[in-house]
Amino acid sequence: MPADAGRAWWRTAVVYQVVLRSFADGDGDGVGDVAGLRSRLPHLRDLGVDAVWVNPWYASPMVDAGYDVADYRRLDPRYGSLEDAEALVREAHALGMRVLLDVVPNHTSDQHAWFRAALAGDETARARYLFRPGRGADGAEPPNDWESCFRGPAWTRTTDPATGEPGDWYLHMFAPEQPDLDWSNREVADEMLDVLRFWFDRGVDGFRVDVAHGLVKAPGLPDAAGRDRRTEEHPGWDQDEVHDVWREWRALADSYDPPRVFVAEAWPARRAERLPLYLRPDELHTAFEFEPLHVAFRARPWRDVVDRSLAMAELTGAPCAWVLTNHDVVRQATRYARTQFPEKGTNETERARWPTEVPDLDLGRRRARAAVVLTAALPGVLYVYLGEELGLEEVEDVPAERRSDPIFWRSGGTDPGRDGSRVPLPWSGDAPPFGFSPPTRADGSPAAEPHLPQPAGWAALTAAAQDGDPTSTLSLYRRLLALRREHLAPAGPMRWLPTPSPDVLALAREGTDVQCWVNLGAEPVALPAGARVLVASAQVDGGVLPGDAGAWVQVADR
């Protein structure tokens, strides 16, 4: 185990998110896998991460990139075997890194043995899902008015296996291939606890919990009557009874030595009031802080987000788990490459703007670097999404026939969906696949093309091209995370420092003389004298922060 075993490592960790199919391909089939991840663990160690979070790697038809799980105890064969998984955990631990998995408790795949049995008419299996008769003449209308998060009704009608006639409907808050489980059925709760045990017993250090505000639905499944799940109380989400689940999970995690941990993906509509409930001391350890995903690159809104989030951390005692980007949103460099509107944007609005404004990617990358410098200096946990350390942009021109996200298909192509943030990483070389796949497969045949096409321009952004270049984004991340580990992670609370311009944010942490200064404006600003040790984002001499803050980081006496 890593040397700091026993300490509450998860309060200050840097966690690197791995979309397995897009990280590194070990066997040449064009799809990333555990062998590829194992071979690249030294990259993550050198980057300075404390833990790796692997997106769902379970057996899956991959309708929703593995968030449609057919078997929670088996890896998808495209990713590897259970032995590979065990080797990964061992090797990561030997390099001083923890491993978090992704658990998907709200729904299974429609190919899960339970759901197949349910469709075949097995009553015990049916009772684990939410089958209901339809409304209207012959039950031809869905049982209620709920909408799927991926567009369209949240219900799909089945065919009666005995008669071949249209039968009941089943609930799916996401794609029809992702039927929701019925969490009022004790068998469901027991099965998921057993799944957790299965992986904890193999040394896995914790889980990211998918849609943690889901699972339990309001009794009777009443109509939402026009309520927007994102902003209003909705009978499909955030029910009080879900907290019974998290208490059981926490008790299980605490029964291990060292205790295992959870991070919740939770989007309760009344976030400020309801999210703290998930973080009570006997529930989940942390919850993603998603506010930075929606905030424009401007100083005032950033400062407000930080203040609000830290106030919540103060209230709950759980550290903020900062998320600058992930597999569901537009990559940071691209988000920041277009006009920064003062109002809160959403991922949909970002993507809707693609056709109308050419992105300034150099600017976007500089801003993305500044944002990570700032965030890394804050108290709490830092999540780093794969490829952000290379400054990758969203790939906006993935051809339709190569796209796999159900959001794209279910919106009739009006929303491009999330494939553009999931393009395989460029590791080395001048042309695709940029070292993502080996040249040949085990049988000597040439490797398949990467599952999504990589832009030719990524030749300049490969890990190999950036390695050793002190001005590269990769070098910045390495220095930044090393600084963070030494000076900032162990430090105490933060306070804002006065700055010479409203576009400059500066902060200090108790217990260290390292300060963080970031200029979010376009104008250079002179630093005040007197800061002894400085984490500065600057490219010019003399303590001046230009608009392209984040280009480099230093620790220096002044």
Q: Which is nearer to ligand NOJ, 67 or 336 (CB)?
A: 67
Which positions ≥6 away from 536 have C-beta within 8 Å? 517, 527, 543, 545, 553, 554, 556
The token pair that represents 102 in the structure block:
């992704």
Q: How far is the CB of 432 from ligand NOJ (least distance, A)?
A: 25
Q: From edge to edge, which strands make up the β-sheet containing 131-132? A: 131-132, 166-171, 155-159
Which residues lie below 8 Å from residue 404, measured CB to CB, with a gap of 6+?
Answer: 62, 65, 419, 451, 452
Alpha carbons 524 and 533: distance in angstroms, whole number: 20
Whole-number minimum distance, CB 488 to ligand NOJ, in Å? 28
Residue with smaller CB distance to ligand NOJ, 147 or 449? 147
Strands (E), 294-349: 321-323
Q: Which amino acid is at 330?
A: V
Q: How far is the CB of 521 from ligand NOJ (least distance, A)?
A: 33
Q: What secondary structure letter does DSSP report for 413?
A: T
- Whether the CB-CB separation of 293 and 265 falls below 8 Å is answered with no
By beta-carbon proximity to ligand NOJ, the closer residue of 12 and 109 is 109
Task: For residue 170, give the nearest of 201, 212, 207, 128 by alpha carbon.
Answer: 128
> Does 211 contact ligand NOJ by CB under 6 A?
yes
Q: 336-375 mask for ligand NOJ (x: CB under 6 A)?
A: ----------------------------------------
Other CB atoms within a 10 A radius of the CB of residue 415 amount to: 18
User: By the 8 A CB rule, do 218 and 236 touch?
Assistant: yes
Return the structure tokens found at 264: 């919740």
Query: Which 8-state DSSP code applies to residue 412?
Result: T
Residue type, 416: P
The maximal CA–CA distance of the chain, rounded, in angstroms, is 82
- Tell me whether residue 380 or residue 417 sits nearer to ligand NOJ (CB atom): 417
Q: Is 238 in the site for ligand NOJ (CB under 6 A)?
A: no
Pick the closer one to ligand NOJ by CB: 62 or 465: 62
Give the nearer residue to ligand NOJ in terms of CB position, either 182 or 265: 265
The three-state DSSP-derived secondary structure of 126-151 is: HCCECEECCECHHHCECCCCCECCCC
Nearest distance in Å: CB 17, ligand NOJ: 10
Specify the residue, 211 or 372, whose C-beta has the smaller distance to ligand NOJ: 211
Q: Looking at beta carbons only, is 335 or 479 nearer to ligand NOJ? A: 335
Rounded to a whole number of angstroms, the minimum distance from the CB of residue 69 to ligand NOJ is: 9
* Closer residue to ligand NOJ, CB minimum distance, 72 or 174: 174
Among 180, 210, 394, 548, binds ligand NOJ (CB under 6 A): 210
Closest approach of Cβ 406 to ligand NOJ, in Å? 8
| CB nearer to ligand NOJ: pick between 180 and 205 | 180
Q: Which of 328, 350, 388, 548 binds ligand NOJ (CB under 6 A)?
A: 328
| Dist. CA 162–CA 172, nearest whole Å | 23
Q: Which of residues 422-451 bind ligand NOJ (CB under 6 A)?
A: none
Chosen residue from 67, 79, 427, 552 binding ligand NOJ by CB under 6 A: 67
Residue 327: CB minimum distance to ligand NOJ, A: 6
Among 25, 50, 64, 419, contact with ligand NOJ (rule: CB under 6 A): 64
User: Please, what is the minimum distance in Å from the beta carbon of residue 64 to ligand NOJ?
Assistant: 5
String of contacts with ligand NOJ for each residue 255-294, x by CB under 6 A = ----------x-----------------------------
- Exposed, middle or buried by CB within 10 Å (0-12, 13-18, 19+), for 228? exposed
- Nearer CB in complex with ligand NOJ: 40/327: 327
Number of residues binding to ligand NOJ, judged by CB under 6 A: 9
* Secondary structure string (H, E, C) spanning 373-396: HHHHHCCCEEEEECCHHHCCCCCC
Determine how β-strand 553-557 pairs with β-strand 533-537.
antiparallel
**Binding flag, residue 174, ligand NOJ (CB under 6 A):** yes
Encoded one letter per residue, x for contact with ligand NOJ by CB under 6 A and - for no contact, window 93-132 reads -----------x----------------------------
Inter-residue contact 160 to 166 (CB < 8 Å): yes
Please report, as a single letter, which amino acid is at residue 377.
A
Among residues 351 and 509, whose Cβ is nearest to ligand NOJ? 351
Residue whose C-beta lies closest to ligand NOJ: 67
**Binding of ligand NOJ at residue 415 (CB under 6 A)?**
no
Residues that bind ligand NOJ (CB under 6 A): 64, 67, 104, 174, 210-211, 265, 327-328
